[in-house]
Amino acid sequence: MKRNLFAGAAALAMTTSAAFAEQVTVFGPWLGPDQENVEAVLSAFAEASGHDVRYTGSDSFEQQILVDSEAGSAPNIAVFPQPGLANEMASRGFLAPLADGTDDWVRDNYAAGQSWVDLGTFADPEGNDQLFGFFYKVDVKSLVWYVPENFEDAGYEIPSSMEELKALTDQIVADGETPWCIGLGSGGATGWPATDWVEDLLLRTQTPDVYDGWVDNSISFTDARIVGAIDEFGEFARNDAYVAGGSGAVASTDFRDSPKGMFSSPPQCYLHRQASFIPAFFPEGTVVGEDADFFYFPSYSEMDLGNPVLGAGTLWSITNDSQGAHDLIAFLQTPEAHEIWMARKGFLTPHKGVNPDAFGDPTLRKMNDILLGATTFRFDGSDLMPGGVGAGSFWTGMVDYAGGKDASDVATEIQSSWDALK
């Protein structure tokens, strides 16, 4: 049953006391440094609420949460790395709806708020859509990386639209250089970087409802709009003049090695589109903000589709209903809950009410500005598709496409693999 509970931290303080304190268990995917970070947040909640809060992390979270739920021993709160599993669990009655008014709070307080409501809304066992998930801790993928010194030496400026980005790409070629480094290699997961490209480009060429329909398969891979986004990727990746090593090197280059061409002398490329984690694979000692930097992967000014952002994030859901569980979701709505982790590492938030000075890392603050500027946020589409498609035929199909296969043929094969699941 839904509870109409809190408006914020003040209400949280009023609803709990030593007499009503209870144990609140939280289960999530974080271990190591991230476990320390989330425990700092939960410690602040425990102090504010009086609850006894206990976190457990696991690298087998997805499997274990299902086992625990089926056994009737689920934690109060589960932290899902992807909405897909939460959606499945909601349909089986394993999740409790969030408090009435939480959806309104998200719309009012998160940048692109309706996007976050949509991503956390699933059908219950009776088929009724309800808000089951609260997003907290987000990642951004819509980034282009570059070396400021290379840009300064060549006299290049940061593009503010896709038209300008394509013009810069052509200018680099005209100057006798190579604009892009692209690599799809990733062992058994080879091909996934191309799916990110296609997702980002679909959001820049079509409205968000087309993206959503594609992700849930109400719009086929063979639809001209989807095929067009694949070919849009091909404009970058299948042009020998545009890619370091030529288009033939795209599929065989490991994604971890692909940005290194920006740091060679002379540079083998000037641009690299990749998510916020890629600096982990830059040359040792690279300082982001000095030796390397990034800008928003821009949208088309002529298409008037706003500033869409592609990314990922963790979804907090109630898997064992209790007052303490609702109290924790209410605490996550306070700026304090976000600023604690902002002062640490690896945290971005769409919360418009936080103090940006709380960021301990100026790079994260700059990424967060991109997130706050989003008019639409969409979760990584391949992660929302069935595993055999999103982590299977879509990956391999993009490798085939990078190798020269026609986009329509690739789309037909991917769609056939999806149809076979029915």
> What do you get for the CA distance between the two ends of the chain, in Å?
33
SS3 of 363, please? helix
Tens of pLDDT, residues 71-91:
999 999 999 998 999 999 999
How much is the pLDDT for 20? 76
CA 250, 154, 361, 276: dihedral to nearest 10 degrees?
-20
Tens of pLDDT, residues 20-75:
789 999 999 999 999 999 999 999 999 999 999 999 999 999 999 999 999 999 99
Q: Where along the chain do its domains lie?
A: 9-139+310-379, 143-308+381-419
- One fold for 9-139+310-379 and 143-308+381-419: yes
Identity of residue 301:
S
- The mean pLDDT of 306-319, rounded to a whole number, is 96
- What DSSP designation does 300 have? P
CATH homologous superfamily, domain 143-308+381-419: Periplasmic binding protein-like II (3.40.190.10)
How much is the pLDDT for 19? 52
Do residues 310 and 142 lie in contact, with contact meaning Cβ atoms separated by under 8 Å?
yes
How far from the centroid of its chain's Cα atoms is residue 380's Cα? 6
Give me the CATH code for the 9-139+310-379 domain, please: 3.40.190.10
- The mean pLDDT of 336-359, rounded to a whole number, is 97
β-pairing verdict for 376-379 and 272-273: unpaired
In 29-175, alpha helices (H): 32-49, 61-70, 83-91, 102-109, 113-120, 148-154, 162-174
Tens of pLDDT, residues 209-253:
999 999 999 999 999 999 999 999 999 999 999 999 999 999 999
Q: Could you tell me the pTM of the whole model? A: 0.91
- What DSSP designation does 125 have? T
- What DSSP designation does 206 have? S
